[in-house]
Amino acid sequence: MPAPGDHKAYMQLALQEAQKSPPKSTNFRVGALVVDPSSNQILATGYTLELPGNTHAEQCCFMKLAEQRGVSEEHLSKVLPPGLILYTTLEPCSERLSGNLPCVQRILRLAGRITTVFVGALEPEKFVAENTGRKILTDAGINVVQVGGLEKEILKVATAGHIKS
């Protein structure tokens, strides 16, 4: 378990999650963790396509937390402690081409519960031209902080399976 506040170490754990995601040309391989800093405990992990339904890493974390606590994802904010941290290797999506609820909207449902989102790299403009997720979260009072030093490795993992142009 990383030391409290060792954001790079937590991001490396999220990157290990991302590496479990199957390489595909139609999505990014992303890993995520939900951490309770008051106990320094990882409450949930997730990676792209871990669960059925074209799932994103953050979505998998929230689905697992909802299942653990016996509620629907929509009611998760009622059963989580405040002040949680989300670590995600790529900034959360603001738009889903699949029709699924964007990860930014899922995080907003947990405003007050998730108070900080640490991202390892900004989303490349491959599928969605401009990801406005960071601004939406910041405007809602959720801190968004980029953890430096792993961008190259994160993007290499995220784009595995993509056709190089």
What CA–CA distance (Å, rounded) separates 121 from 89? 6
Contact 90, 158 (CB under 8 A): yes
DSSP for residue 36: E
C-alpha span between 109 and 107 (Å, rounded) = 5
Q: Cα(21)–Cα(151) distance, rounded to whole angstroms? A: 18
Catalytic residues: 58
* φ/ψ of residue 24, rounded to 5: -140, 150
Q: What is the crossing angle of helices 57-69 and 7-18, to 10°?
A: 100
What is the number of other CB atoms lying within 10 angstroms of the CB of residue 79?
Answer: 13
